[in-house]
Every structure is written in C-alpha cells, then in structure tokens.
Amino acid sequence: MKVSEDYFLNRYMSSSESTNSSQPSVDTTEGDVGKNPIKDQGVKVVLLDTPEQLVEHAKKILQDAKKSEWKDVPIDKKLEAFQDKYKEFGRTFPIVLRHIIQSQKLYPEILQRYILLCKHHPTHSVSEFQERQADYLVMIYRKEHPRCSQREISMVKRKHVEDLKREEEYMKKVMDEVKKERDEKAKQYEKDKRNELMGLISRCVYDIPKDLELEPLSDIPVKTPDVPITSNNQDDDDDHIVMLPSKKER
C-alpha cells in the first residue's frame, strides 16, 4: 500500500507531541455530535478523564470508521482524516487510532489495560514512546493468539519497535526535506523581492522623461561676491590699493 507523505507528516507531529504527554487524560474539542459554540464546526467539547470514558470514545471512533462513506477511501487518506477529526485522541494514543482505522477492530478490555499502563508508566523519550506503542500491539497479539510463546511475543514486539523506528527515520527525512525546500523558497523569494526593489529604484533614478527640458548651465546667472579686488595698476586711486605688510612689519 502506498502511503502519502502527508500521512507520515501527520504521524510525525502526533508522535512527537505525544512523547511529552505524562497521562492519558484528554481535554479535547472533538467528536461528531452537537456543535462547538465558538467555531461552529459540528463538534462539541468532550472531557475524557477516566479510562472508561476513553474507551467509550474509542468505540465512537470505530463506529465512525465503519460508516459507508469511508468504504472506497484509501487507508492512508482515511487515517489522515481521522487524525484531523480526532486530534487530541490521536496525539495521545496514535497507535490505537491507527489500529482502529486499519483493522476496523477494537478490544475495549485491552485498551483499558493499555490506558492504565500509559498512566502509571509515562514515557519521556521517543524510544520509550515507541516501546509503549509496541506494547499495545503486543497486547492485541496475545488476545488473538492465546497460545503464543514468550519467545514469539518478544519477536513480535521487537519487530513492531523496529518498524516504528524505521517509520520515525523516514518521517524525519521527510521533515528535513520539507524544511530545506521551505528555506530555499524563502531565500528565492527574498532574492526576487530585492531584485524587484532594485529595478524599481533604477527606473525612478534613470528613466527621465524625454520631453523634460533642463535649463542649460550657461543661462544660470552667477552672483559676483561683494569683495574688494586688489589691483597693481598705478593709475588707480590710492584708496583702491590694498598694501600688504612686509615680513618685518609682521
């Protein structure tokens, strides 16, 4: 099955934010009943404080996932839609939401045990978060294969953890590529705007209208300074002669 990059981006954001979650309680604005008085988007505020409430909420998600309108929608697109519709639940329990959409199954008793496990043993790193997600899949495997050995269980968990790590690496790669592309576009945009500004300045400075007549410099009157001019002509009056003192007189 081909999975879109948007799916991995959504999964990456969900798993990254969920790593910092210390308990499974969710205060969310999601669901498909009633209306949000603020955004009016056909959702209502749902307070999920107990494992029982979370399990009931998961049952509603399963009912929603089984509706006929999703019958012909690809799994990755359907998961993207549910991650957007049930954001808070998906951020807190991404593997639960993913399993519901992909398998169309839900084991309430297993989910309740998993919620208590998350509550009493919160994760503090990406690797711990991956281990915790694998625990849910292992619980389901035990339910569906009651006679499996402990060795088989260990192999199943290791496989799920490795799959999650590979997915995490791929998501980081996609995020790095997206960031690189955005940075390149931002630099190109800045360069284009700078060139546009320089072109505008150039037109304002050098594009002088041809019909504009400039006054020649020769026709501009020059004011003569009112300063007496000395003359060496002996015929001039003495009053107009300026005598400079000799060096000795200085």
DSSP assignment string, 117-175: HHHHS---SHHHHHHHHHHHHHHHHHHH-TT--HHHHHHHHHHHHHHHHHHHHHHHHHH
Q: What is the pLDDT of residue 248?
A: 53
Burial grade of 212 (CB within 10 A; 0-12, 13-18, 19 or more): exposed
Given a cut of 70, is residue 56 above it in pLDDT?
yes
Q: How large is the average pLDDT for residues 224-244? A: 54
The secondary element (H helix, E strand) that includes residue 89 is helix 87-92
The whole-chain average pLDDT of the chain stands at: 75
pTM strictly above 0.85: no
Q: What is the pLDDT of residue 203?
A: 73
| Max mean pLDDT range (1-15, 19-33, 119-133, 208-222) | 119-133
